[in-house]
Structure 1
């Protein structure tokens, strides 16, 4: 009998922090924004500002989406962008994410552009739109990539319009 030298790709161990962030995202998607904020706040309390930048990026990006006050949303969106700048492609791979860190930026800039637009701060909104559009090449040609590209297109249309709105 011969031995098989089959290569088995090892899956990363489940990340309990990402699992908790995922739980908060599920609550958010079900419309349970207060509960999601509570989950995210608990994760933030454990991570702190000096935690793993990958975790902070994911957490802050998600926490921004459940804020009622656009100024608070902006704080979390900026925190997500700052953390992304500290994440390596190696760290992303260890987390089991197939896309590079560069693929995070279109969405991060889309969110920042939109919140600045809603705050009536049109110059930073346009700057983040331009940065998001400049980064779309890192996105795949899949549903997620199409979603983000569509969001950037809608943001561009809104920025050409008469002014900020709450939509």
Structure 2
């Protein structure tokens, strides 16, 4: 249930919808404009949400990593109280699996498997914070999928995601 509708979140939501509709350039421009208003010291909920979505719109994996790191940094300063002003069901701990999974994928794309494995392990450790719902299962499936990809690139690294669900997508 939404508690706090604000102009910034409305702008972020609009840009996310544009991106999902295939208007990635327009979505990227809108989110970049909003970032200019929020700034690196602005509301951590806005920064985390915006950076998380803006990362997905990047064509360059290094830029995607930069935005995902910003999202994690903002999450580190975000409180449940602030997140719940937007939606009473939000728990910051439940953001971490997705944020860490995204970083692991970024590092994989950049050919840095050791760092990818480190962030995948952090994502795996934070999975208990997820609910038993479609979103939680999507993230669990993403952890399994990425673990399999990393294991395929280095079979000597051992199992990466024992005990979690079936392979899927993020």
Equivalent pair of 2:2/2:88 in contact (CA under 8 Å): no
Alpha-carbon distance in 1 for matches of 2:107, 2:4:
38
Specify every segment of 5 or more residues in structure 1 that has no aligned partner in the other structure, as ranges.
1-9
Greater CA deviation, 88-97 or 18-27?
A: 88-97
Question: What is residue 129 of structure 2 aligned with on the other side?
Answer: 138
Query: Residue 95 of structure 1: CA displacement?
Result: 1.3
Seen in structure 2, the aligned counterparts of structure 1 residues 138 and 132 have a Cα distance that, compared at 3 Å, is same
Q: Pick from 76, 79, 84: which aligns with 2:70?
A: 79
Alpha-carbon distance in 2 for matches of 1:118, 1:42:
27
Alpha-carbon distance in 2 for matches of 1:52, 1:141:
29
Specify every segment of 5 or more residues in structure 2 that has no aligned partner in the other structure, as ranges.
155-170
Query: Residue 86 of structure 1: CA displacement?
Result: 0.1
Q: Pick from 10, 21, 36: which aligns with 1:19?
A: 10
Corresponding position: 1:96 with 2:81: no
Alpha-carbon distance in 2 for matches of 1:97, 1:125:
32
Q: Which has the larger radius of gyration?
A: 1
How high is the TM-score relative to the length of structure 1?
0.89
Question: What is residue 3 of structure 1 aligned with on the other side?
Answer: none
Aligned alpha-carbon RMSD (Å): 1.3
How high is the TM-score relative to the length of structure 2?
0.87
Task: Note the alpha carbon deviations across 1:42-95, whole angstroms, 9 max, x for none.
Answer: 100110111001100000000000000000000000000000000001111111
Question: What is residue 154 of structure 1 aligned with on the other side?
Answer: 145
Q: Pick from 106, 109, 113: which aligns with 1:115?
A: 106
Question: What is residue 96 of structure 2 aligned with on the other side?
Answer: 105
Query: Residue 31 of structure 1: CA displacement?
Result: 1.5
Query: Residue 13 of structure 1: CA displacement?
Result: 3.6
